[in-house]
Each structure stands twice: as C-alpha cells, then as structure tokens.
Amino acid sequence: MSWKDPWNRSRERGKEAGFTLIEVLAAIVILSIVSLVLTSYFTNAMTYSKSNQNKTIMVNLARNALFYMEKQDFGEINKYFIDHPSDAVIKAEDCKSSGCVLTNVINFTGSPASVLNPVVNGIAYQIDVVYQPELWNKEEEPSPSSGAPSIDLSNSQKYLLPVLVKVRRVDPGNQPVYDIKVEGYITDERIR
C-alpha cells in the first residue's frame, strides 16, 4: 500500500530522500549571482569612499593654504596682487623646495614650498592662490530687506583680499582628476 504525502513524494523513498543534482546546481548558480552583485556593490562603495577621502584632504589643504596666507604680511600680499592684476596668482610652481621665486616680492614666513606643494599619504598636491578683483568690481549690493541700507564694499577693500585657493593632484594616476576650489579672504591684522 503506497500513499503519497502532501509534497507528492512517495513513502517508499523514506531515508534516501534529499536534493537532486539539478536542485543543488540551481542553488549554487543563484548563490554565485547574489555574491557577484554584493561584491561589485562593496567594490564601488570602497572606490566612492576613497574619492571622498581625497576630496576631503584637498579641501583641508586649501583651508591650510588660506590660513597660511592670512599669517603673511598683508601689505606685501596686497601690493603683489594690486601690482599684478592680470596674473594675480601665487603659484605652487613658483615655490619649489629649491626656493621661492616670490621671496624678492613677498617675504614669506615659514616655508611656502611645503604649504603650496604638500605631500599627504605619498600623494603630491599643488596649490595656487588666485586673487579675485572682480568681486570688488560689483555694484553695492542691496540689502535683502527693503528698508535696510546697502552694503558698502569700499571700506572692506582696505582690509580684505578675496582669493580662490585651487588644489590639484600632481599625478592623478588612475584616480579621477579633481580640482578643488575654496573661496576665502586674506584679512589684515588690523581688523582681527
């Protein structure tokens, strides 16, 4: 007497019941497809994390260069930027480890070569500080509220130098090329 169980297997198989070769192969194929998808996800996540780490390093280097420029003699930097309006840039190439071309114009304190040409985690970067005179050429900006007076930029020009700090990798290798730009002001000591 043979009767069938709810799964449609005969009772006669009893102890020999198990997975067939086809079922095992199908399970292995499904498991390998899922593992490939997860592996590619983690690889992409690691690459994205590394690129964000590089961007963060570059932003911190730009802030460091801006802070370094604020510690220099404001009068000398202001004179350099005003005397060179068409090419008002302090370039990393001008300040190498052998010496800084701008030392006869700007008397830097510390080491401008190490600030403008830093090496972090074995990766070399170059930093340029660009003067932005076009910010001062704007008309007086109206205040957001209708009754308030407009902002007078003429006084600010004596004490603030608007600059754009650009950071780039010297040899990007197989990494994507990022040019990080941070805007800021070099301020005169008299208003600090």
| pLDDT digit string, tens, across residues 155-166 | 677 888 899 999
User: Residue 180's beta-bridge partner residues?
Assistant: 167
Regarding pTM above 0.85, the answer is no
b/e burial code for range 154-174 (CB count within 10 A of at least 16 → b) = eeeeebbbbbbbbbbbeeeee
Q: What is the pLDDT of residue 94?
A: 84
The mean pLDDT value of the chain amounts to 81
Q: Which two tokens stand for residue 63?
A: 């802030």
DSSP-derived letter for residue 10 is B
| pLDDT digit string, tens, across residues 59-95 | 999 999 999 998 888 888 888 888 876 678 888 888 8
| Rounded distance between C-alpha atoms, residue 166 and residue 178, angstroms | 10
Delimit the domains of the chain by residue range.
Answer: 28-191
| Rounded distance between C-alpha atoms, residue 54 and residue 52, angstroms | 5
Q: How confident is the model at residue 150 (pLDDT cuts 50, 70, 90)?
A: low
b/e burial code for range 29-67 (CB count within 10 A of at least 16 → b) = eeeeeeeeeeeeeeeeeeeeeeeeebeebbeebbeebbe
- Asked whether the beta carbons of 88 and 133 are under 8 A apart, the reply is yes
